[in-house]
């Protein structure tokens, strides 16, 4: 019976109910879309960072990460690679030599990191080969090839097939240099990264540094992030003298970014819920005030306070129950659509997005738990929002409410006094 009254009461003032339901629908949809966008951005950022820079796990000489000096190498790096390759769950492994260098053209020069790679291995781990915009990726056959970014090429004023000179300090601390021909230009979308690295063959760089068979870094991609810690531990056990770190340890800002963005999502959700709670209180208070006489009658004829309270609570919950699925469905539809097509954020700010390492397209992705969290959050909000109006309803005195008055004790007494005076005046005149 209470459910029946509550249900029909919702449709009593359709406009008002639709406004509240609209607020819930838009709120839920916007949170889903926001969470989807935020997740999409996190995934894009981390994915880019992993593919182009950090990979999932990296192995270094423990001292190398401090100042990247060439002398802190991993000897017999090819064997390390081969051993890691056999670990279950490892998708791809590459190794490289990394050193700071001076790159010069006939027009300009700049400091940069030179990364010596084994091209056939590197393409399995790094996504740079997918970002070649001119020319080709490095090959294993030709000597002294170099791959530079479009931005570096612009700064050095060089083009494809131009020659540049790299100057290094070898293991003997002597200056050594080599001339390299630009075979390809890349653009990863992350400007900072693009301006800080060039790629050459490991063989070439090792020859110049005098460290054949050595290397500075082993980069590993795994099949499933769920096993990241397990694989990392297994590698660390195998190479106790080497430093084995996962991508969160290599770039702590990734984890920080991830948690901060998630926190922003939660803050938005809380703000929405707060706004919604006041909207619900306002609407339900209006519904109670509009129905004072009716509530008075219900209490007069024998509906107890618990039932009156429940009636208001159920009415509010029904508003949420009707609108929440619509909001969830709209959110699911819109994020699913954009998950397929992507949202072109460069349309908004190409340079800004590149500067922060985001992809051109963001693919919103909403975890299933977000939908459940929203269901719980909206139900809780509706419940909390209904408590005050329901409490107000049961505070009504039936004797006053049946007359439609929602007055305070003082007003009631004042009205009795004026009635009494009127009566006395009327009697004395007659």
Partner 1 sequence: MSLITIKGITKTYNPKKIPVHALRGIDLTIEEGEFTAIVGPSGSGKTTLLNIIGGLDRQTKGEILVDNVNISDLSDNKLIDFRKNKIGFVFQSYNLIPVFTAAENIGFIMLLQKKSKDEISKRVIELLKSVGIEEQKDKRPNQMSGGQQQRVAVARALASKPKFVLADEPTANLDSKSTSDLLDIMENLNRNEEITFVFSTHDQRVIDRAHRVVTIEDGKVISDVKIKN
CB of 408 to partner 1, least distance (A): 12
CB of 268 to partner 1, least distance (A): 37
| Short-list 132, 50, 111, CA closest to 357 | 50
Cβ proximity to partner 1, 380 vs 425, nearer residue: 425
Q: Which stretch binds partner 1 (CB under 8 A): 179-187, 344-352, 383-391, 394-402?
A: 394-402
Q: Is 111 in the site for partner 1 (CB under 8 A)?
A: no
Q: Which stretch binds partner 1 (CB under 8 A): 60-68, 141-149, 300-308, 358-366?
A: 300-308
Single residue of 301, 340, 368, 428 touching partner 1 by CB under 8 A: 301
163, 180 contact by CB (below 8 A): yes
Cβ proximity to partner 1, 24 vs 295, nearer residue: 295
- Return the bridge partners of 201, or none: 117
103, 157 contact by CB (below 8 A): no
Cβ proximity to partner 1, 310 vs 375, nearer residue: 310
CB of 286 to partner 1, least distance (A): 16
What is the distance between the alpha carbons of residues 90 and 150, in angstroms, rounded to a whole number? 32
What is the distance between the alpha carbons of residues 308 and 305, in angstroms, rounded to a whole number? 5
CB of 427 to partner 1, least distance (A): 8
Binding mask 270-299 for partner 1 (x = CB under 8 A): -----------------------xx-xxxx
Q: Please give the residues from 398 up to 427 whose contact with partner 1 meets the rule CB under 8 A.
A: 398-399, 402-404, 409, 412-413, 416-417, 419-420, 422-423, 426
Q: Is 303 in the site for partner 1 (CB under 8 A)?
A: yes
Q: Is 1 in the site for partner 1 (CB under 8 A)?
A: yes
| CA-to-CA dists, residue 7 to 239, 261, 284, 311, 317, angstroms | 67, 39, 14, 9, 10
| Short-list 86, 77, 84, CA closest to 202 | 77
Single residue of 75, 124, 260, 304 touching partner 1 by CB under 8 A: 304
Cβ proximity to partner 1, 8 vs 163, nearer residue: 8
What is the distance between the alpha carbons of residues 60 and 241, in angstroms, rounded to a whole number? 10
Cβ proximity to partner 1, 13 vs 258, nearer residue: 13
280, 381 contact by CB (below 8 A): yes
- Count interface residues toward partner 1 (CB under 8 A): 34
Q: Which stretch binds partner 1 (CB under 8 A): 6-14, 99-107, 255-263, 387-395?
A: 6-14
Q: Is 233 in the site for partner 1 (CB under 8 A)?
A: no
Cβ proximity to partner 1, 9 vs 126, nearer residue: 9
CB of 425 to partner 1, least distance (A): 11
CA angle 309, 312, 314 (to 5 degrees): 105
Given CA atoms 247, 252, 258, 262 in this order, what sign does their dihedral have? positive
423 class by beta-carbon count within 10 Å (0-12 exposed, 13-18 middle, 19+ buried): exposed
Cβ proximity to partner 1, 44 vs 316, nearer residue: 316
CB of 50 to partner 1, least distance (A): 59
CB of 24 to partner 1, least distance (A): 22
What is the distance between the alpha carbons of residues 163 and 415, in angstroms, rounded to a whole number? 99
194, 149 contact by CB (below 8 A): yes
Cβ proximity to partner 1, 69 vs 294, nearer residue: 294
Cβ proximity to partner 1, 67 vs 409, nearer residue: 409
Q: Is 395 in the site for partner 1 (CB under 8 A)?
A: no
| Residues that bind partner 1 in the complex, under the rule CB under 8 A | 1, 5, 8-9, 11-12, 293-294, 296-305, 307, 398-399, 402-404, 409, 412-413, 416-417, 419-420, 422-423, 426
């Amino acid at each position: 019976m209470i459910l029946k009254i509550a249900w029909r009461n919702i449709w009593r003032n359709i406009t008002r109910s639709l406004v509240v339901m609209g607020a819930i629908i838009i709120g839920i949809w916007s949170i889903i879309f926001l969470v989807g966008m935020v997740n999409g951005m996190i995934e894009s950022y981390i994915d880019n960072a992993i593919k182009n820079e950090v990979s999932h796990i990296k192995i270094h000489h423990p001292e190398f990460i401090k100042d990247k000096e060439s002398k802190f190498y991993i000897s017999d790096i090819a064997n390390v690679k081969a051993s890691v390759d056999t670990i279950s769950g490892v998708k791809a492994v590459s190794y490289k030599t990394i050193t700071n260098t001076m790159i010069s053209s006939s027009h300009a020069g700049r400091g940069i990191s030179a990364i010596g790679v084994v091209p056939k291995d590197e393409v399995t781990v790094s996504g740079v080969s997918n970002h070649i915009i001119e020319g080709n990726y490095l090959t294993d056959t030709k000597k002294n090839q170099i791959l530079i970014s479009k931005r570096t090429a612009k700064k050095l004023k060089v083009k494809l097939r131009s020659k540049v000179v790299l100057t290094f300090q070898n293991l003997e601390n002597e200056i050594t240099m080599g001339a390299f021909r630009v075979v390809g230009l890349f653009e990863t979308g992350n400007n900072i990264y693009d301006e800080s690295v060039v790629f050459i063959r490991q063989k070439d760089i090792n020859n110049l540094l005098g460290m054949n068979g050595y290397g500075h870094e082993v980069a590993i991609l795994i099949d499933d992030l769920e096993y990241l810690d397990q694989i990392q531990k297994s590698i660390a056990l195998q190479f106790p003298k080497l430093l084995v770190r996962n991508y969160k340890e290599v770039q702590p800002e990734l984890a920080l970014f991830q948690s901060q963005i998630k926190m922003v999502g939660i803050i938005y959700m809380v703000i929405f819920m707060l706004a919604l709670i006041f909207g619900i209180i306002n609407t339900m208070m209006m519904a109670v005030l509009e129905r004072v006489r009716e509530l008075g009658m219900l209490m007069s004829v024998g509906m107890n306070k618990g039932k009156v309270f429940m009636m208001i609570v159920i009415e509010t919950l029904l508003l949420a129950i009707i609108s929440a699925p619509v909001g969830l469905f709209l959110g699911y539809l819109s994020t699913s659509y954009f998950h397929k097509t992507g949202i072109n954020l460069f349309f908004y700010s190409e340079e800004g997005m590149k500067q922060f390492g985001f992809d051109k397209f963001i693919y919103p992705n909403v975890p299933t738990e977000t939908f459940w969290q929203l269901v719980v959050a909206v139900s809780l909000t509706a419940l909390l929002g209904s408590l005050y109006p329901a409490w107000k309803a049961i505070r009504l005195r039936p004797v006053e409410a049946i007359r439609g008055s929602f007055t305070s004790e003082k007003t009631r007494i004042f009205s009795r006094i004026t009635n009494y005076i009127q009566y006395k005046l009327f009697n004395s005149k007659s």
